[in-house]
Amino acid sequence: MAGGGFVAQDGGANYEGRVTAFVICTCLIAATGGLLFGYDLGISGGVTSMEPFLKKFFPSVLEEQNDAAKHESEYCKFDSELLTLFTSSLYLAALIASFFASVVTRIFGRKISMFVGGLAFLIGSILNGIAMNVALLIIGRLFLGVGVGFANQSVPVYLSEMAPAKIRGALNIGFQMAITIGILAAGLINYGTAKIEGGWGWRVSLALAAVPAIAMTVGSFILPDTPNSILERGHTEKARRMLQKIRGTQHVDAEFQDLVDASEAAKKVDHPWSNILKPRYRPQLVLCILIPFFQQLTGINVIMFYAPVLFKTLGFGDDASLMSAVISGTVNVVATVVSIYSVDRFGRRILFLEGGIQMIISQIAVGVMIAMKFGVNGDGDLSRTDANVLLFLICAYVAAFAWSWGPLGWLVPSEICPLEIRSAGQAINVAVNMIFTFAIAQVFLAMLCHMKFGLFFFFAGFAIIMTIFIHFFLPETKNIPIEEMNRVWKQHWFWGKYIPDEVVIGGNRKAEHRDA
Ligand code: BGC
C-alpha cells in the first residue's frame, strides 16, 4: 500500500491529470438534480397564496385570511397550520427517503439513486398537476419528497467524488447553483401563472416540476458512475478506466491507489451506521448533524418560502411583494457565483465567517427597523424609503447566505466523510436538513405571529453561535483530496484526539483495515 502513503505525504494535491471537459459536463448534468429541490422550495409559497388554489383545497384558510377580525395583529394574518403542512409535508417524506437513498447509493451506485429520484419527482409532479382533491395533492407532495431525498443524498456525493480536489468546491456548488436557479424559476413561473384566467394557473406551476424531473431522469442515464462507487462495488479495472477518462491521463496510479485503499477500508465495514458512531468518526458525525441544523437556523427559508407573504405582512402591495421576492431570488443566484469563484481559492472558512458576520448585522438591522417602523402590533406604516431599505437589508442577508451556508451546507458534509461512512454521513446531513426545513416551514408563520420582529433577533442569535462554532471547530478542507481528509482532522486542535495515528494516510492505511 505504499502508493497511498507516498502520495499523501506530499500533500496529495499533486495527483496527475487535468480538468477535462468530460468531468465538467458530467458534473453540470448531475448538478441539475438541485433544480428539483429548488423548484419545490420556490413554488409552494406562491401557489399557497393563489386564491383559486386555496378555494379548492383549503377554503377555511381563505375565509380566515379574509376575515380581519380573526387576527390578533397584522403579524398573524397568514398563520395557518393546515396551509404550512402542505408546504412542509414534502420535507418529511424527503427525510425518510434519504435513509433508503443512502442504501441505494452505496449498493447500486450514485447514478441509480439519481434515476430513482428523478422518476419519483416526475410521478409527484404529474399527480400534483392533475390533483382533484387534497389526498391526491398530498400523495403527490410525498412523491416529490422522495425525489428530493434521493437527489440530495446522491448528487452532492457524486459531484465531490468526480471532481479533482483543486476545483471540488466549485463543481460541488453547481448543486447549490441549480437550487437557486430552481427557486428563482419557480418564483417567475408563479408570477406568470397567477395571472392565468380561469383559476387553474396553480396546476401549471405544480406540473412544471416535471421539467427538472425529466432532466434528471434522462441525465442519470447518460452519466457514468464515479470511480469511487464503481470500485466500492468491486469493479477494479472499470474504476481505473473511469478515473483515467475523467482525469484525462493514463497516469492515475497515485490517486487510484488512494481510492483502492479507501475502498478496502470501507469493505471491512459491514454497518456504516454503527460505524459512524465510533469515536474516530466523531468530527464527521458532529458536523453532519450541526452543519445542516445551523444552515436552517439561519432562517433562510423564511425568505425562500414566505418572501411574498412576509412582504405583504409588512404592507407591501401584491405586485411589489412578488417583485421583491424575484429581486431577492436573483440576488440569491448571483451571490452563489461569488462562492463558486472563491471557494477553492480562499477556502471554506473565510466564506463561512464573512457570510456569518454579514448575516448577523443584516438580521439585527432588519429586526430593529421593523420594530421601529412597524411597531409591536404591526400597525405602523412603512414609507417607500423604509421599504427600499428593508429590501436592501434582506438582500444583503440573502447574499451572505448564498455565498456561505447555502453552498457550504451541502459541500462540506459531502467532502469530509471517508468512503466507509460517506453514504451514511450524507443521509444524516439530508435528514437533519429536512427536519429543520420542515420545522421552520411549519412554525414560521406562528413564530412571526408571536415573536413579531423578535424573530429576526432569534435568527441573528443563531448566526452568532454558528459563526463562533465554525471559527473553532471547522478545519479548512480546500484542495485536500477527498480520500485524504483524515490528515486534516488529525492536525486539528480539538478533533485530533479522536483520530488514531494509523488512519492518517502517510502512516499506514492497513492498520485502519485491521481495526475497522
Ligand atoms: C438550503 C435551502 C435553501 C436554499 C436557498 C439551500 O442550500 O438547503 O434550504 O432554501 O439553499 O438558496
Q: What is the pLDDT of residue 69?
A: 59
Amino acid present at 323: M
* CA 305 to ligand 1: nearest atom: 10
Amino acid present at 403: W
Are the C-beta atoms of 469 and 294 separated by less than 8 Å? yes
Tally of CB atoms within 10 A around 69: 4
Q: Which residue has the cell 460541488?
A: 172
CA 198 to chain CA centroid, Å, is 36
Residue 47 CA to ligand 1 centre (angstroms): 19
* CA 437 to ligand 1: nearest atom: 9
At residue 232, the 3 state secondary structure works out as helix
Calpha distance 160→167 (Å, rounded): 9
Q: What is the pLDDT of residue 78?
A: 59
Q: Which residue's CA lies nearest to atom 4 of ligand 1?
A: 406
Q: Which residue's CA lies nearest to atom 8 of ligand 1?
A: 406
CATH 1.20.1250.20 fits 21-515, yes or no: yes
Are the C-beta atoms of 313 and 320 separated by less than 8 Å? no
Mutate to test the pocket of ligand 1, among 40, 304, 334, 395 (most ligand atoms within 8 A of CB): 304
Mutate to test the pocket of ligand 1, among 43, 295, 297 (most ligand atoms within 8 A of CB): 295
Amino acid present at 497: K
Given CA atoms 294, 297, 302, 303 in this order, what sign does their dihedral have?
negative
Q: What is the pLDDT of residue 14?
A: 63
Given CA atoms 226, 230, 232, 236 in this order, what sign does their dihedral have?
negative
Are the C-beta atoms of 386 and 479 separated by less than 8 Å? no
Q: What is the pLDDT of residue 371?
A: 86
Taken as a whole, the chain contains a residue count of 516
Residue 95 CA to ligand 1 centre (angstroms): 15
Helices 419-451 and 253-267, packing angle to 10 deg? 80
In Å, what is the CA distance from 202 to each residue of 44, 268, 346, 360, 451? 10, 51, 43, 36, 31
pTM: 0.87
Q: Indicate if ligand 1 lies below 6 Å from the C-beta of 339.
A: no
Residue 409 CA to ligand 1 centre (angstroms): 9
- Name the DSSP class of 376: S
Q: Indicate if ligand 1 lies below 6 Å from the C-beta of 412.
A: no
Are the C-beta atoms of 312 and 456 separated by less than 8 Å? no
Q: What is the pLDDT of residue 489?
A: 92
Would you list the DSSP string of 437-499? HHHHHHHHHHHHHHHTTHHHHHHHHHHHHHHHHHHHH----TT--GGGTHHHHHTSTTGGGGS
Residue 301 CA to ligand 1 centre (angstroms): 7
CA angle 303, 305, 307 (to 5 degrees): 45
Would you list the DSSP string of 114-160? HHHHHHHHHHHHHHHHH--SHHHHHHHHHHHHHHHHHHHHHHHHHHH
Q: Indicate if ligand 1 lies below 6 Å from the C-beta of 408.
A: no
* CA 410 to ligand 1: nearest atom: 7
Residue 438 CA to ligand 1 centre (angstroms): 12
Q: Which residue's CA lies nearest to atom 1 of ligand 1?
A: 406
Residue 296 CA to ligand 1 centre (angstroms): 8
Q: What is the pLDDT of residue 5?
A: 30
Residue from 487, 425, 481, 461 nearest 162 by CA: 481
Are the C-beta atoms of 256 and 58 separated by less than 8 Å? no
- Per-position b or e across 110-141, b if 16+ CB within 10 A of its CB: bbbbbbbbbbbbbbbbbbbbebeeeeebbbbb
Would you list the DSSP string of 277-308? TSGGGHHHHHHHHHHHHHHHHTTHHHHHHHHH
**pLDDT tens series, the chain, 516 aa:** 333 332 333 344 567 788 899 999 999 989 999 999 999 988 887 888 788 998 998 888 788 777 765 665 666 665 667 777 788 889 999 999 988 998 898 889 899 999 999 999 999 999 999 999 988 998 999 999 999 999 998 998 899 889 888 889 899 999 999 999 999 999 899 889 988 988 899 999 999 999 999 999 999 989 999 999 999 888 999 999 999 999 999 999 989 998 898 888 877 776 778 889 999 999 999 999 999 999 999 999 988 877 776 777 667 776 777 777 788 899 999 999 999 999 999 999 999 999 999 999 999 999 998 888 877 666 667 777 888 888 899 999 999 999 999 999 999 998 999 888 888 898 899 999 999 998 888 887 778 778 878 889 999 999 999 999 999 999 999 999 888 888 899 999 999 999 888 776 543 343 344 333
Q: Indicate if ligand 1 lies below 6 Å from the C-beta of 156.
A: no
Residue 34 CA to ligand 1 centre (angstroms): 10
Residue from 400, 230, 184, 385 nearest 300 by CA: 400
Residue from 199, 447, 184 nearest 313 by CA: 447
Q: Indicate if ligand 1 lies below 6 Å from the C-beta of 409.
A: yes
Q: What is the pLDDT of residue 8?
A: 34
* CA 409 to ligand 1: nearest atom: 7
Q: Which residue's CA lies nearest to atom 6 of ligand 1?
A: 406
Q: Indicate if ligand 1 lies below 6 Å from the C-beta of 300.
A: yes
Q: Indicate if ligand 1 lies below 6 Å from the C-beta of 324.
A: no
Q: What is the pLDDT of residue 374?
A: 74
Residue 332 CA to ligand 1 centre (angstroms): 10
